[in-house]
Every structure is written in structure tokens, then in C-alpha cells.
Amino acid sequence: MNMPPPLLVFTDLDGTLLSHTSYRWDAATQALDTLRDIGAALVIASSKSAPEIIEIRAQLGWTNCPAIIENGAGILPPESTDTPNTDTYVRLRRVLDSLPADLRDPFCGFGDMTVAQIAHITGLSHSGASNAAERAFSEPGIWSGSAQLRTTFIDALHNHGIHAREGGRFLTLSYGRTKADQMAALTDGFGARHTLALGDAPNDIEMLQAADFGVIVANPHRNPLPPMPGEGTGRITRTTLAGPAGWNTAVLDLIARLNLNKG
């Protein structure tokens, strides 16, 4: 029987473990290596699609851990290299296209874009954008209408059981499961001594609050998250450095704080 890990880490990707501009994680290499050395587990929790996560998880070397995909709408099991087979995305798009034109037209989802357009707005390569377009559960997109009409749009979708969540780049539509929902089940399964969550966007707030320790990673490309309960006690902290550099420092600091690198 495997021993429970001393630390279970849940991490967002874009603007957190990955650089907002380059999508690289090199600056977090020391912390990633240290997590492996102490026997920790790392669960990616991102709005990215299964093909994107499959590739990134393999490159990071954490295929032995599950991942939370599409903003919490689904789970990618350990070692899996297959996109979940589901009709959820088709149903979601059908509801979206049934909205009145004045609500539908200002929202441009990935399903409305070509691969080249997705590459342009994300900065991904053509193959990366192609992976991002392969959705199973949710629809990221850009809202170009007024704030008032956006509220009406979100309310109309909510009547069909579809929820909208603001991420680091996009407004993402799904049937409501969140990163925190998936996190709760995985936490029970791992039985880790401590849990840590790191993120930079509004769709990470529930995850940050649910962990034993939360880290708000600085992202100069977006407005900072508002003050959160737990910041006054040090349960939730903020990084000064942005992206993977901030991630690296925060993880190493917590490992030292909990004396986990001393066995």
C-alpha cells in the first residue's frame, strides 16, 4: 500500500505554473524537483482541454497523478492519454446557439473560431491551439458586449444549468462543476498530510480557499484577486514574483515552513 503523500499540490497553469506569455515553467524547476524528492503529488487544475493537459502533464513528468481539466468540468485519470468521450460539449453549444442573437453574438467561443484564430488570441502554436479547440465539457470564449448585457447572457445560460466563470483569459461556460468540487474528491482519495493550492484568477478562488494553504500568484497581465479570508493569518499568501518564478518561491517556502524536506 502506498503511503499518503506529505503534500498534495493543486495548481492552475496559465499565469501560475506557466508563464502568461511564454507558457514555460522553467523558473519553477527547483520546486518541481523538490516536490518529487519529498514524495509529494501534483494535480494540475486548469481550464485547458484534455489534449493540452495530456501533453503538459507528460512534459512536467507527473503522469502518475490525475488532473482536473476544463475548469473542473472533468477529470483526466493518471496515465490516461485519451480525451473523455462525452456529448456534454455538443449539448452546451446547442444551448448557446439557441439564445437570442443579441445575447449570442457578443460571445465568441472556441467553437466559433478557427484554429488560427485560437492561436492568435492565446499565443499558442498551431498544434497547441488545435489541442485547445478539442473540448469535452466546456466552452471558453471572449465577451465583447456591455457589462449589463453580459449579466443577462449569464442569467440566460444559468436557466439552462450552464454556469459562466471568469478565468485568466476567458469567460468559460460549463455545467457547473468547479476545480474545488473535483479537488474535494481527490483530496479524500490521496489522504495527504497537507494540501496546497496555487492560482491567479477568479476561477481559482474556491480552490485556494479549500486547501490547507493557498497561494495567489502575481499576474501583472490581469487585475489582482481581491483580499481573501485567511490572508491575515498566513494561510493564504501572495507572491511578489509573477508566474512560475513566484510559484517556485511559494512552494519552496511552504516546504521549508512545514519541514517536509527533512522527512
Q: Rounded CA gap, 71 and 3, in Å?
A: 29
CA within 13 Å, CB half, 143: 20
Q: What pLDDT is attached to residue 178?
A: 85
Q: What pLDDT is attached to residue 241?
A: 97
The pTM (predicted TM-score) of the whole model is 0.86
Q: What pLDDT is attached to residue 168?
A: 65
User: What are the backbone dihedrals phi and psi of residue 142, each rounded to the nearest 5 degrees, phi first?
Assistant: -115, 130
Q: What pLDDT is attached to residue 166?
A: 83
For the question of residue 253 being annotated catalytic, the response is no
Q: Name the percent of the chain lying above pLDDT 70.
A: 98
Q: Which domains does the chain have, with CATH numbers?
A: 7-81+178-262 (3.40.50.1000), 88-174 (3.30.980.20)
CA dihedral in degrees (134, 140, 145, 149; nearest 10)? 120
Q: pLDDT: is 73 or 194 the higher one?
A: 194
Highest mean pLDDT among 19-23, 119-123, 153-157: 153-157
Least confident of 40-54, 168-182, 226-240: 168-182
CA 114 to chain centre: 23
Q: What pLDDT is attached to residue 1?
A: 42
Q: Where are the beta strands (DSSP E) in the chain?
A: 7-11, 41-44, 67-69, 74-76, 107-109, 139-143, 163-166, 171-174, 194-199, 213-218, 236-242
What is the tens place of the pLDDT at every residue in 197-226? 999 998 899 999 999 999 999 999 888 999
Q: Please determine, for residue 15, whether its predicted confidence score (pLDDT) is greater than 60.
A: yes
Catalytic residue among 12, 14, 200, 204: 12
Name the grid cell of 262: 527533512
| Residue partners of 107: CB distance under 8 A and separation at least 6 | 96, 141, 142, 143, 144, 145, 153, 171
Helix (H), strand (E) at residue 252: helix 243-257
Q: What pLDDT is attached to residue 263?
A: 54
Average pLDDT score over residue span 114-126: 94
